[in-house]
Structure 1
Amino acid sequence: MKITFLGAAKEVTGSCYLVETESTKFLVDCGMFQGSEIEDEFNYQEFAFDVDEIDFMLLTHAHIDHSGRIPLLYKRGYKKKIYATKGTVDLCEYMLQDSGHIQQIENEWKNRKRKRAGKPLRMPLYTADDGKAAMQLFCGVDYDEIIEPSLDVKVRFNDAGHMLGSSILEIWVKEGDKETKIVFSGDLGNKNIPILRDPTIIDEADYLVCESTYGDRLHEDVGDKAKKLMEIIKKTISRGGNVVIPSFAVGRTQELLYEIHKLDEELYKDEIEYISKVPVYVDSPLATSVTGVFRKHLDYFDEEARRYVENGDYPLDFPNLHFTHSAEESKALNDLKEPVIIISASGMCEAGRIKHHLKHNLWRADSTIVFVGYQAKGTLGRRILDGEKTVNIFGEEITVNAEIENIDSFSGHADQKGLIDWISSFKRKPKKVFIVHGEDKAQKVFSDKIRGELNIDTVIPSKYDTYDFDADTINIAEIALPSEDEILNKIEELRDENEKVLTKLKDIISKNRGKIKEVNGDLATLSDVLTRLKRRFS
């Protein structure tokens, strides 16, 4: 048996893993790469496998960095089954079409730039119709249900506590007289997240593929996050500014609504007085739709949230909450004279209506931008969070005068302690942990922690690495390294879309001619080389 790491390997986005047994090939996730325009180029590459040879796919959850290339997979000929929890299937119904719509809109905008520059036009990665068509492949399963998608593979979906329908996968592979159990953590949630249950404890595994998004840090005290949010809101509203919260349409948005709804009237009396008078707008058609999906899956709710529902109090609704639908309604929010709270997607500020709200609020010293989720390298959200003084939005340089806040305990990802505690709870520990879905530093720190505290062997795979379970070896994919001239040509093509990074890369390569043989010891595709060079020489 073998596993090849095709994404989220020494990076956070693009989760995709190919598992090969003696008689079966299947995928775990097929996510989109997110970040800068260089990362976006990964999405257009050919898949590193023959689509016709894949027997089935398992999807851990609906977030686009795990599901976002499924419509492309369908478009390129994949017509086999995709297994996911029923909640994930219902969310993907909206999310994949929304992703296709975003691909179309952004491609139209980029094609206008290409046309003006005399460059060839490009088709969108996929369309909303492709997203809709791909849904015919999905098969919904229940938590704790064991399915047999092939004669040699059994699978159980367990609650990961990360978002509605998210899963930890237990996979049993039978080869001859030998059975091997692999566990994929998916994205592992925090404990005590509003609405959702805590991540399921797994008893045993031979091997574990584990995320490491926050593998090098601890979240601030979860109990303080509601208080901090309320203090930020009160302070901002009192000075006449807006509170703008870039939030993932699925998960963080619903959690924020829940926190605002269930405030303790005694503990937060002053804050409630402010918030009860301030309109709260959820400005995301996708968030509006999927908030309805939550109503359909009340059985996924934790005990506290179910208690609200049983008492006739739906925790994702309150009097001053408004959902915008049309683009006109969204634009009108920026003409309001009174302070408002705007929760809008996308969570990393890369697309959607949030960019318009940032354009109208970043320059205002009285407004506050509150980040409540992970910001991938290269994204607009990450650049703002890292303290850039000016950012380019829709071709206009915007000065960052607004107050910037980050409440990472709202993150749907477990922190280092949460990850270590979860692995520690295995009654029979895995013999090896593959560390994925994390930035370099987080992975290295997390790897050392696992080795030092749990005495478990770890591997941090690079993209396209293949681990052979029988030989207990990592094999590097033999992918030809492009010439330096090819890299320079690609940089010229992408210059308009990422001027600062690409100019720096060109200078670096020019100064280091003849020195770049391999990057980090791995052979790589052209896009891979660009990203790795940026990391190595920046």
Structure 2
Amino acid sequence: MTTLTFLGAAQRVTGSCYLIRNGQQQILLECGMLQGENSNGKRGGKRKKSNTTGNNGSHFPFEVADIDAVVISHAHLDHSGMLPLLAKQGYQGPIYMTRQTQALLPTMHKDAAFLQEKDAEWENKRRARAGKKAVEPLFNTADVELELGLCQGMAYGEEAEILPGIRLCFREAGHILGSAIVELWFDDKGDTRKLVFSGDLGNSQAPLMRDPAIITEADLLLMESTYGNRDHQPLEQTLDEFRAALDEAADSGGNVLIPSFAVGRTQDLIYHLGQLYHAGQLKQNNIYIDSPMATSISEIYEQNTRLFNKDDPEFRQIMTHDWQQWLPILRFTRSVEESMALNKIAGGAIIIAGSGMCHGGRIRHHLKYNLWRKNTHLIIAGFQARGTLGRLLVDGVKKVKILGSEIAVKAQIHTLGGFSAHAGQSQLLEWAGHMRKSMPRLYLVHGESESMLALQKRFIEEFNWDASIPTLGEIIHF
């Protein structure tokens, strides 16, 4: 008998982590960081002590020495961000992922380590003033190097036996570069059971990634439900709103700020801005990617254009090896000095900066210098978790505290839903519907309660298929 324990992303969006026990073998499926609300050690979240990886505590709720293998669906930190801590605490086994995820992790995890180190530095200054004992970061860059040495990249569709009697295969998920649906088979004396984990499923409207692979059979299905309660608006409507916001900003003479995830969202935005540029519909003449991580990630995307879809032949013809071929007015700011210089621009610029939920990164500096301006236009182009600065701004807060200063929010705020890299409700149902003949046991993960409940209801209405909503720490047998 095989068991699975839900250690993260149970009735919450982030912190993905599941422990699989198959006899004496143990596999960790995902090792994600909690972001936003209750994220211990992360700026922008409430600090809360915990012994679970989902709350970013310093102790895992399992014996690290007992883990035989780790499987990661994709590079986003809420799925992979605690891997350096795992290595720090002695894990020396293999970490399986796609080759593209393996390429993305060095940039993403070194950046995460830097933020952990800075958080600890700032916290220790506060503690020193209070006469309290200093703290250490959860992990540092040396721990990242340990982790990276354990990573093993696999090609999509490649099947490998990762432990005796346990086979693994990654299928395209269409979410970001390298994102995967995970298939795991457990063989026991001729009896084979199959677990499918959706990972984060991509939005079929997304401009670069291919659609998620179709899977028809499973015994157990773990499925994300981030947008389980709604569909995204049509992409054309979103692009019209995007164009209108850019026009309004240009006419008012203000800047456009776009907080953006470095992986996926930034590259999609470059594509859409390039479309406007080639159509002669972009009034701004200066576009900046102000994120060292997004710059590095964009270079990795450039190296993997073969994995892009083929929906736009003109883009594929122009974009052969360099984003600036596609968008000549694009500039990547790499140094701190270049980033600071952007704060002197009073208007006419589009500044895309990390992080996507405004809980860290250079976007906070640009918000500090621009939120109080009435002609600033802030475009929110992605999901904002509860507890993040981005969520507060979307919810209409009038004042925010950024980098020690209280800032009045007078900027125009535009929320665009159609750019999401996640599948909407109908897309989730359509993807899972290919398994309705095998009707696997279904568990909904990676979603807030209202999203899970709505999707659970639709599964009953659409397929007469019971979907369970697990709790943190729940153990199931399959």
TM-score, normalised via structure 2 length: 0.93
Deviation (angstroms), 1:305: 5.5
Matches within 5 A, 1:277-292: 278-292=285-299
**After superposition, what is the alpha-carbon deviation per residue over 1:192-216, rounded to whole angstroms, capped at 9, x for unaligned?**
3111101111121111100010101
Distance 2:129 2:439 in 1: 55
Distance 1:279 1:253 in 2: 16
Task: Give 1:27's aligned amino acid.
Answer: L
Q: Corresponding residue for 2:176?
A: 163
**After superposition, what is the alpha-carbon deviation per residue over 1:306-338, rounded to whole angstroms, capped at 9, x for unaligned?**
763445655732221000011111111001234
Distance 2:255 2:148 in 1: 38
Distance 2:342 2:377 in 1: 16
Task: Give 1:234's aligned amino acid.
Answer: D
Distance 2:194 2:319 in 1: 43
Distance 1:307 1:77 in 2: 49
Task: Give 2:101's aligned amino acid.
Answer: T
Distance 1:335 1:451 in 2: 55
Query: Cα distance 1:312–1:60, how it changes in 2: closer, same or farther (>3 A)?
Result: closer
CA contact (8 A) 1:262 1:315 kept: no
Task: Give 2:332's aligned amino acid.
Answer: F
CA contact (8 A) 1:182 1:208 kept: yes
Distance 1:414 1:430 in 2: 21
CA contact (8 A) 1:15 1:31 kept: yes
Distance 2:204 2:466 in 1: 26
Matches within 5 A, 1:113-132: 113-132=126-145
Matched, 1:50 2:50: no
CA contact (8 A) 1:258 1:315 kept: no
Distance 2:409 2:221 in 1: 42
Residue 56 of structure 2 aligns to a residue whose secondary structure is: helix
Q: Corresponding residue for 2:362?
A: 353
CA contact (8 A) 1:13 1:34 kept: yes
Q: Corresponding residue for 1:29?
A: 30
Deviation (angstroms), 1:452: 2.1
Q: Corresponding residue for 1:185?
A: 198
**After superposition, what is the alpha-carbon deviation per residue over 1:97-131, rounded to whole angstroms, capped at 9, x for unaligned?**
11101111122112212222333221011112322
The counterpart of 2:262, out of the listed 249, 254, 258, is: 249
Give the number of aligned pairs. 463
Deviation (angstroms), 1:173: 0.9
Structure 1 stretch displaced more, 389-398 or 164-173:
389-398
Structure 1 stretch displaced more, 342-351 or 227-236:
227-236
Distance 2:306 2:26 in 1: 33
Residue 407 of structure 2 aligns to a residue whose secondary structure is: strand
Q: Corresponding residue for 1:308?
A: 315
Identical-pair percentage: 41
Residue 222 of structure 2 aligns to a residue whose secondary structure is: strand
Unaligned runs of 5+ in 1: 470-538
Structure with bigger helix share is 1
Distance 2:110 2:183 in 1: 29
Matches within 5 A, 1:103-142: 103-142=116-155
**After superposition, what is the alpha-carbon deviation per residue over 1:223-280, rounded to whole angstroms, capped at 9, x for unaligned?**
2222221111111121011110000001000000011112385xx54x33x13xx200
Matches within 5 A, 1:376-415: 376-415=385-424
Q: Corresponding residue for 1:4?
A: 5
**After superposition, what is the alpha-carbon deviation per residue over 1:392-424, rounded to whole angstroms, capped at 9, x for unaligned?**
111221111111111111111111111011111
The counterpart of 1:467, out of the listed 466, 470, 476, is: 476
CA contact (8 A) 2:88 2:146 kept: no
Distance 1:237 1:425 in 2: 46
Q: Corresponding residue for 2:52?
A: none
Distance 2:73 2:207 in 1: 20
Matches within 5 A, 1:196-275: 196-263=209-276, 269=280, 271-272=281-282, 274-275=283-284
Residue 263 of structure 1 aligns to a residue whose secondary structure is: helix
Residue 27 of structure 2 aligns to a residue whose secondary structure is: strand
Unaligned runs of 5+ in 2: 42-47, 49-54
TM-score, normalised via structure 1 length: 0.83
Residue 197 of structure 1 aligns to a residue whose secondary structure is: coil
Residue 348 of structure 1 aligns to a residue whose secondary structure is: coil
CA contact (8 A) 1:19 1:25 kept: yes
The counterpart of 2:341, out of the listed 320, 327, 332, is: 332
Query: Cα distance 1:38–1:286, how it changes in 2: closer, same or farther (>3 A)?
Result: closer
Residue 303 of structure 1 aligns to a residue whose secondary structure is: coil
Residue 44 of structure 1 aligns to a residue whose secondary structure is: coil
Distance 1:144 1:88 in 2: 15
CA contact (8 A) 1:371 1:407 kept: yes
Output the aligned Cα RMSD: 1.6
Deviation (angstroms), 1:37: 4.8
Matched, 1:101 2:102: no
Task: Give 1:390's aligned amino acid.
Answer: K
CA contact (8 A) 2:262 2:354 kept: yes
Query: Cα distance 1:220–1:39, how it changes in 2: closer, same or farther (>3 A)?
Result: farther
**After superposition, what is the alpha-carbon deviation per residue over 1:484-522, rounded to whole angstroms, capped at 9, x for unaligned?**
xxxxxxxxxxxxxxxxxxxxxxxxxxxxxxxxxxxxxxx
Query: Cα distance 1:403–1:312, how it changes in 2: closer, same or farther (>3 A)?
Result: closer
**After superposition, what is the alpha-carbon deviation per residue over 1:332-352, rounded to whole angstroms, capped at 9, x for unaligned?**
100123421000001011111
Distance 2:309 2:476 in 1: 38
Q: Corresponding residue for 2:89?
A: 76
Distance 2:322 2:312 in 1: 7
Distance 1:321 1:420 in 2: 38
Task: Give 1:204's aligned amino acid.
Answer: E
